[in-house]
Structure 1
Amino acid sequence: MFPFEHIIILDKKSKVSVYKQVAFAIIDAIRNGVLKPGTHLPSSRELAALLHVHRKTVIAAYDELEAQEWITVYPRRYVTVAENLPLLQPKKWNENKTGFSYDNELNVPYRIIDPHVPSENGIPEVIIDDGHPDVRLSPISDLLKTYRLLTSRTYAIKNAHIGTAQGTLKLREELVHYLSVTRGLNISADNILITHGAQMSIYLAAQLLLNSQSAIIVGKPNYGVANKTFAETGATLIEVPVDKEGIDTDKIEQLCKKEKISAVYVIPHHHYPTTVTLSVERRMKLLELSARFSFVIIEDDYDYDYHYASSPYLPLASAHHQGNVIYIGSFSKILDPSLRIGFMVAPKNFVAQCTALRKIIDVGGDGYMQNALAMLIKEGELKRHLNKAKKMYHQRRDFLDELLRNRLSGHVTYSLPSGGMAVWIMLQKDFSVDDLQQSGKLKIIRTDSELNAFRFGFASMDERELEAAVNLLASRLGKRDL
C-alpha cells in the first residue's frame, strides 16, 4: 500500500484542525504529482488507523476534499483522486483672470491619466455597489476603542512609529498565523507587506514586474482599475476570455508558446466582475504553466473569506510555486471600504523592493490602526465577525435571488455565486444597462455596456434596502411592483 502515513504528517500542537491538515497534505501530494488522477485512497477507516486519528476526522477531510473537487467518493465502494485533474510529473501652469487663484486651470504640460473624469451631481436614492461589506455589522467600534487605547500608552506609541513602511511587525506576525490557518500559507513576517488596500499592492507589483517590453494576461471582462494600473506601466495587456470555470488556461498556454508573458493577473475566487470561481483543473494548469514558461501569477484574493456552500478552494499561493505567486488580499472587504488596509505576500526580496518603492510615494501606514487590527485578530474578534457576517450575507444573497426571480424574471439572467458579496446580472437584449441610471434616482457602481450587465452588491443592504433597489430596477425595466 502507498505510504500515506509518510506524506500526511500531522502536528497535534498546530492550531490548524487535524482534518484540515489531512486535507492540505493530500492536496499537496496531488499538486506535486505524487498522487495521480484516479489513484485509490484508503478508506476512512484504514487512513484513520494509519494516522492514529478518529475516523470522523478522516471523513471530515474527505468531505472537504470532495467539496473542492480534489477527490471522488464512491459511496460504500472506494475513494479516488479526481479523474479530470491533469497528470503532473513528480517535482524533484495666460491671461490674468479675475476671481480666486485656483479658479484657473493649470496651463503647463502635464500627463493626463484619465480625460473623462466623472463629476458627482447629488446623491441618488439608491446606490448599488459592486460588493461592499455592511459597515453596520462591522466591529469598527471595537477597533477604534483599541486604537484610542494604544494612543495613550507609551510603549504602544513607540511601536506605532517603527517599521510602518512594510507594516508593523505586530500585524505582520499576526497575519502569519491568520493566513496559515485560513489559507494554508507557510510564510514568515518578512514575506508580508501591509498596504493601503489591495489596489496599492497591485500598483507596486505592476511597477516592479512590468515595463514597455512586457506583456501581461488579464481576464475578459476584468477588474478595470487593475487593467489601468498595468497599462500605465507601458506593458501590453492581453485579454483572455473568462467562462463559467474562470480564465481560459488553454488560451494562456497558446499565448505562452507564441510570445514571452511576464505575468498573469487572476482572481480565482469570485472573479471580478462575473463572480465565477476558477476550477481546480485550471488552477493546477495555471501553476504548471507559470513554472514552465516562467511568468508571475498576481493572485488577487479580495473576498476569500466569504463562501457559503463549503470552504473555499485554497489559494494558488498555498501551492508549491517556487515563489512566483504574488498574493494580494484586503481587510476593506471584511470591515469597511474606507479602512484602507491590505496586504501582499511574496518572496522576501520582492517585498523588500516593494517596500522601497512604497517609501517614495508613502512613508508608511497608520501604525496605531495596524496594531489595533492585530489585536482584533489575536483576540478572535475578526473571526467572530466573519462568522456573523457570512451568515447574514448568505441570507441576503438568497433574499436577493428570490426578489430577482419573482420580480425581474424574463428581464435578467444570472448565476447565483457560491460566495462573495455580489451577483453578476445580465439584461435581456431589449433593454440597455446604460439606460438604467438615466433617471438619476439610481446609481450602479459597476456596469458593462459590452456585455449589457452589472454587478449587484447585496452584502451592504438589508432586506428593506434590497427590496427598494429591486423595485427601482423593476420600474426602470417596465415591470410593475408586486
Structure 2
Amino acid sequence: MLPWKTIIQMQKDCDTPVYLQIANSVIHEMRKGRVGPGLKLPGTRQMAEILEVHRKTIVRAYEELDAQGWIEMHPSKGTFTSKELPEINGRHFTKNHNQNAFPKTTGYHVKVNTGIRTPVLPLRHIMGFHDGPDMRLIPSDELGRAYKSVLSRNTYLKFMSYVETPGVQKFRATLSEYLNASRGLQTTFENIIVTRGSQMALYLLSIVLFAKGDTIIVGDTNYYYADHVFLLAGMKLARIKVDEYGIDVDAIEKLCRKKKIKALYITSHHHYPTTVTLSAARRIKLLSLAEKYGFIIIEDDYDYDFHYLSSPMLPLVSADTKGMVVYIGTLSKTIAPAIRTGYIIAPENLILELMRVRQLIDTQGDPIMELALIEMFEEGHIKRHMKKALLAYHKRRDFLCGLLNEKLGDIIDFKTPDGGLAIWAKFHKSIPLPPLTEKLKAKGLILSNGLIHNTSSVSMNATRMGFGWMNEEEAAQAVDLLAQTIRSK
C-alpha cells in the first residue's frame, strides 16, 4: 500500500475544504505518475483512519474525484483510479527538486518579441528625476471620500454590474464639458470613449484604423510606446525631424507627394520627448495637408493641463472642421498614473467602431472611478488641485533649471520647457549617459539613460529629467549628487 499519509498533504487552517485538499492531492500524484491507472484505493473507512479525518470527509473526496473522472467506484469491488487516463510515466526527482513547483517555462514554443523592451521596475521608491506628477500633491482625501460616497449609495449599485462600453454617460458628459471649456472643443458625450489610459487608446486606434503595410508619420525622436503600438500593427514608420518649432511640416508635405500616408502621430502641445510646442503656423499647415492628402492626425495631448506661461495653445482638434483629427488625452497625468482614465475624442462613427473592438479587449472601464471623478469635477476638487499643482510644478521647474545652469551648465544643454513635467537635457558627449546612470543608481539616484529615445544609429546622449516628482530640497540633493558623480572623473 502506498504511504497515503505522506502522499496526501493537508492543512487544517487552510481556506480550502479538507475534502478538496485530499482530492487535489490524489489528482496531483496521478498527474505526476506516482499513482498509476487502475490502482485500488483504500476504502473510505480505512482511508479516514490513515489520514485521521472523519469518514464523511473521505466520502466527499471520493465523490469529487469520481465526478471529475479520476476514479471509478464499483459496488462490492472497491474504488480504483481510472484506467482511461493517459499513461503518465513517473519522473525521477533529485533530492533538491521541488515536486510542487510551477513550471518555469512552457512546454511549447513562445515567440519572443525582441522589438519591444522588457518591462522594468519603475523604482519610484528611489529619489530621482522621474517623469510624472508627484503623488504627494494629489487630492487623495477628496478622492477617497468621493469613492466612498459612490459605493455607499444604493442608486449607484447598478454601476457595480455591466455598464456602457464607452464609459458612464454622465462621466462622458462631464468630461465633454471640461474639455470644451479648457480646450475650445465642441463635443458631446457621444464623441467620447473612455479608455484605460492613453496607451489603450493608441492600441484601439491601431486595430480599428490601420492595416499591415500602412505608413504613419512620427517624429524623430518620438514616444517609444506609440511607435511600438504602430509597429505591432504592422505599420511602417516614416520619421520626420523635430526642431524648436515642432515637427517639420514642409518635410511632411514632400513625403506626401511621393507616397501614400495613412496617418500622422503627434504630441503637439509638448512634443515627447523634446518638450517643444508645435508652432501656430505649422498647425495651420498640418491641418491643411491632412485635408489635402487624406491622412489621419492622431493628436496625443498627454499633458495639456501643465503649462506655465500664458494660456496654452489650443489643440489641433479645436480647429478641425473636416473630422481629420483623433484626439487622445488622459487624467493619469492630471491626477495620478494609477487612475487609468484616458479618452478618445472623435466623430461618432469612429467612436462606434472603437466600441466594437473595445468589447474584445475590455468590456468596459471602471464605472466606480468614473462616478467618483464626476464628484471630483462637480465639487471643484480637480480644478483646485490643478491650480495648486501648477503653481508647485512651475516653482520646481524654475528651481531645477536654475540649479542645472549653475552647477552643470557646461555639461548639460537644455531649454527651460514652457510646460509639462520634464526637461529635455542633452549631455556633453564626454559624459555618456548609460554608465553615468548606473553610477547614480548605485548611489540611490534615478536618471533615465535616454536609450529609449534613440531612433537611429546615432546616439543623442539625451534624456528627460523630470522635475515634478521632487520638491526643492530633494531636487537640490539630486543635482548635488549628479554634479559630484560627473565631476569626480
Quickly name the TM-score band, shorter chain normalised.
0.7 to 0.9
Asked if the contact 1:269–1:278 (Cα under 8 Å) also holds between the matched residues in 2, the reply is yes
Query: Who is 2:265 aligned against?
Result: 265
1:443 counterpart letter in structure 2:
I
Cross-structure match for 1:249: 249
2:474 corresponding residue in structure 1: 465
Q: Indicate the larger mover: 197-206 or 153-162.
A: 153-162
C-alpha deviation, 1:203, in angstroms: 0.8
SS in 2 for 1:254: helix
- Once the 2 structures are TM-superposed, how far is the Cα of residue 121 of structure 1 from its aligned partner? 11
1:132-147 equivalences under 5 Å are: 132-147=132-147
- Is the CA contact 2:129–2:469 (under 8 Å) kept in the aligned structure 1? no
- Kept in 2, the 8 Å contact 1:376–1:382? The answer is yes
Q: How does 1:389-428 map to 2 (within 5 A)?
A: 389-428=389-428
Per the TM alignment, residue 375 of structure 1 is displaced from its structure 2 partner at its CA by 1.4
TM superposition shift of 1:123: 7.6
- Secondary structure in 2 aligned to 1:436? helix
Task: State the one-letter code of the partner of 2:426.
Answer: M
Shift of 1:446: 6.2
1:289–1:477 CA distance, 2 compared to 1 (3 A): same
Query: Are the counterparts in 1 of residues 212 and 235 from structure 2 also a CA contact under 8 Å?
Result: yes
Q: Aligned residues: percent identity?
A: 39
CA contact (8 A) 2:437 2:448 kept: no
Letter of the aligned partner of 1:127 in structure 2? G
Q: Distance in 2 between matches of 1:335 and 1:289?
A: 35
- What CA distance in whole angstroms lies between the structure 1 residues aligned with 2:139 and 2:152? 21
Are residues 251 and 128 of structure 1, via their aligned partners in 2, closer, same or farther at CA, if it must alter by over 3 Å? Answer: same
Check whether the contact 1:160–1:366 (CA below 8 A) recurs between aligned residues: no
Query: Relative to 1, partners in 2 of residues 1:373 and 1:184: Cα closer, same or farther, differing over 3 Å?
Result: same
Find the counterpart in structure 2 of residue 190 from structure 1: 190
Deviation at 1:277, TM superposition (A): 0.3
- Residue in structure 2 matched with residue 456 of structure 1 by the alignment: 465
1: CA distance, partners of 2:446 / 2:387:
30
Q: Secondary structure at the match of 1:327?
A: strand
Alpha-carbon spacing, 1:416–1:178, altered in 2? closer, same or farther (3 Å): same
1:253 corresponds to which letter in structure 2? Answer: E
SS in 2 for 1:102: coil
How big is the shift at 1:405? 1.1
- Cα offset for 1:407? 1.0
**In 2 relative to 1, CA 95–355 (structure 1 residues): closer, same or farther, beyond 3 Å?**
farther
Q: Deviations over 1:342-389 (max 9, x none)?
A: 111011111111112111111111111111101111222111111111
Counterparts of 1:394 and 1:139, CA distance in 2:
18
**Correspondence 1:328-343 to 2 at 5 A:** 328-343=328-343
Aligned to 1:285: 285
Distance in 2, matches of 1:314 and 1:189, equals: 20
Secondary structure of the residue aligned to 2:388 is helix
Q: Distance in 2 between matches of 1:368 and 1:417?
A: 36
Match for residue 325 of structure 2?
A: 325
Partner of 1:358: 358
**Which secondary structure state, in structure 1, belongs to the residue aligned with residue 240 of structure 2?**
strand
Q: What is the CA deviation profile of residues 380-413 of structure 1, one whole-angstrom value per residue up to 9, with x for unaligned ones?
A: 2111111111111000000001110111111111
Contact 2:128/2:470 (8 A) holds in 1: no
- CA deviation vs aligned residue, 1:155-188 (integer Å, no higher than 9, x gap): 1121454534211111101011101100011011
Tell me what 1:47 maps to: none
Per the alignment, residue 51 of structure 2 pairs with none
- Between structure 1 and structure 2, the one with the greater Rg is 2
Cα 1:188–1:273 change in 2 (3 A) is: same
The question of whether the paired residues in 1 share the 8 Å contact of 2:327 and 2:344 is answered with: yes
Structure 2 unmatched runs, 5+: 1-88
Q: Which residue of 2 aligns with 1:62?
A: none
Kindly tell me: are residues 119 and 250 of structure 1, through their superposed partners in 2, closer, same or farther at Cα, counting changes over 3 Å?
closer
SS across alignment from 1:269: coil
Compared with structure 1, are the counterparts of its residues 434 and 362 closer, same or farther at alpha carbon in structure 2 (3 Å cutoff)? same
SS where residue 368 of structure 1 aligns?
helix
Which residue is equivalent to 2:129? 128
How far the C-alpha of 1:315 sits from its partner, in A, is 0.5
CA contact (8 A) 1:176 1:188 kept: yes
Long gaps (5+) in structure 1: 1-93
- Indicate the larger mover: 324-333 or 464-473: 464-473
CA distance in 2, matches of 1:379, 1:180: 18
Tell me the CA shift for residue 103 of structure 1. 4.0
TM-score w.r.t. the length of structure 2 is 0.75
CA RMSD of superposed structures (Å)? 2.1
Change (3 A) 1:123 1:333: closer
